[in-house]
Amino acid sequence: MDKHSKHLPADERRAVTVAAVIELSGSQNPSEITTAAIAQHMRVTQGALFRHFPNKEAIWQAVMAWVAERLLNRIDRVGQGLDSALAVLEAMFMAHVEFVVEHPGVPRMMFGELQRAEPTPAKRMVQTLIQRYGDRLRVVIDKGKTSGELSAALDADAAATLFIGTVQGLVMQSLLAGDVERMRRDAPGVFAIYRRGIGSTR
Amino acid sequence: MDKHSKHLPADERRAVTVAAVIELSGSQNPSEITTAAIAQHMRVTQGALFRHFPNKEAIWQAVMAWVAERLLNRIDRVGQGLDSALAVLEAMFMAHVEFVVEHPGVPRMMFGELQRAEPTPAKRMVQTLIQRYGDRLRVVIDKGKTSGELSAALDADAAATLFIGTVQGLVMQSLLAGDVERMRRDAPGVFAIYRRGIGSTR
DNA sequence: GCGATAAGGTAGTAATCAGTTACTATCCTC
DNA sequence: GAGGATAGTAACTGATTACTACCTTATCGC
């Protein structure tokens, strides 16, 4: 009966807080999310938040840690058991898009965090997330090059940059249209061009 | 002698304000730029700003208008006199990258404005800017398709989305590395993949 | 069922923000 | 060069922010 469970153990409360921030950032500018708004969304007074987090920055850090773990896990799992590098890249791409559709606030938070001037813990977390993401991409791309599936002349760094940029472009379009579902619809066509750009000559 | 010209005509003062915002957003999170910071950067007291703009939102609107005019002008000019659609796209791409390198704060401001929940005037200005940008892209792409230079099966909308996303990916890499010049260096490799993705079979 | 403790509520605080006001300096025109 | 108009200053205001001090209540091991 968690009907009126106003009291939650600390770790659960922290998890609920992270979920609240992720939900809120789907419908409003992440940089404008106040601690009061977070508290209201999880039906708790604002002061209660600071029983579980030393400050607001720590909340962001926890949110970014959640994102990093879930996103990397997802793109790791989805490529397992696939031989073709192109198939792996496509699966990663679609998994990434699906993740963003489920949590539309995530790319906004990440981009917002990246452009902070001061190197906050949350910012560093985003940086390592994207670097790890890039590492995984380069491994797959290199595999595809040696197997002959991808163009031998391909610049792996550029291909990784473009991969992430491709998702970013879809995000921007969805922000423009105010319609997240659009990403799912447009993803195949956009990836088709990318695939053609990196594949070996047919 | 504009040595100590503390008094400027209103339109000049507005232009200086726009320039100040563009400069500031190159080195700090645009959403954290205060009217006090803008005023300080242009050696004027904070209150003086409101003699030329009714509110802060109007400042952002003026900034985005400046960006829209300059960016569209630039990508329009650069493609004139070129027959090849691919050459036009490449010229537009490089011009865009060059623009961002000169004004690194611009993509940050635009992305930040796009993810506002409320449809502010500045946000609408960004939306129409990107839509016009997309229109110009689609015209060139369609031309390339009929001339046989681009793949006949190409999805023009997807190609336009990817074009913008490609720039966006470079921006993200430069934010990661904290080095804007990197964009200029990485741009050719990234565009090469894009070109291969949209070009007709060689 | 009792007491320690973990979790939440109430009601603040100081700092910072956009915007305003009353006054002053500078410019421009006749 | 007088005088109105324009531009700028300094000090302020109310609203909002992250964060805190103090007290109350629920939970759980014994």
Spatial distance between the Cα atoms of B53 and A30, rounded to a whole number of angstroms: 27
Residue B2 predicted with pLDDT over 50: no
- pLDDT of B5: 63
CB contact under 8 A, B169 and A170: no
Please name the residues in contact with B139: beta carbons below 8 A apart, sequence gap of 6 or more.
none
Q: Which residue is nearest to nucleotide D26 (CA to C1')?
A: A7
- pLDDT of A8: 83
- pLDDT of B97: 98
- pLDDT of A202: 57
Spatial distance between the Cα atoms of A171 and B115, rounded to a whole number of angstroms: 10
> Is residue B160 a contact partner of residue B137, using CB atoms and an 8 Å limit?
yes
Q: What percent of chain A has pLDDT over 70?
A: 97
CB contact under 8 A, B169 and A166: yes
Residues 51-80 of B with CB under 8 A from A: none
- pLDDT of A55: 95
The distance (Å) linking the CA of B21 with the C1' of D23 is: 47
> What's the pTM value of the predicted model, to 2 decimals?
0.92
> Is residue B53 a contact partner of residue B17, using CB atoms and an 8 Å limit?
yes
Query: What nucleotide is nearest B6 when CA is compared to C1'?
Result: D8
User: How confident is the model over B79-117, as pLDDT tens digits?
Assistant: 999 999 999 999 999 999 999 999 999 999 998 999 888
Residue B12 predicted with pLDDT over 70: yes
**Minimal Cα distance from A159: which residue of B?**
B190
Residue A4 predicted with pLDDT over 70: no
SS3 of B94, please? Answer: helix
User: How confident is the model over B126-147, as pLDDT tens digits?
Assistant: 999 999 999 999 999 999 999 9
- pLDDT of A5: 63
Spatial distance between the Cα atoms of B202 and B189, rounded to a whole number of angstroms: 19
User: In 3D, which of A5, A7, A9, A36 has the Cα closest to residue A20?
Assistant: A36
- pLDDT of B202: 56
Q: What angle do CA B114, B28, B182 make, to 5 degrees?
A: 85
Spatial distance between the Cα atoms of B168 and A191, rounded to a whole number of angstroms: 16
DSSP code at position A119: -
Average pLDDT, chain B: 93
Give the tokens for residue B74.
């630039």
**Confidence grade of residue B6 (pLDDT, cut at 50, 70, 90):** confident
List, in sequence order, the alpha helices (H) in B25-84.
35-41, 46-49, 56-79
- pLDDT of B115: 86
Which residues are paired to A199 by β-bridges? A150
User: How confident is the model over A59-116, as pLDDT tens digits?
Assistant: 999 999 999 999 999 999 999 999 999 999 999 999 999 999 999 999 999 988 998 8
Residue of A33, A131, A138, A196 for testing the chain B interface, max B β-carbons within 10 Å: A196
**Confidence grade of residue A1 (pLDDT, cut at 50, 70, 90):** very low
User: How confident is the model over A127-185, as pLDDT tens digits?
Assistant: 999 999 999 999 999 999 999 999 999 999 999 999 999 998 899 899 888 899 999 99
CB contact under 8 A, A30 and B112: no
Residues B53-78 have a mean pLDDT of: 96
* Chain A / chain B CB contacts < 8 angstroms: 145
User: How confident is the model over B29-58, as pLDDT tens digits?
Assistant: 999 999 999 999 999 999 999 999 999 999
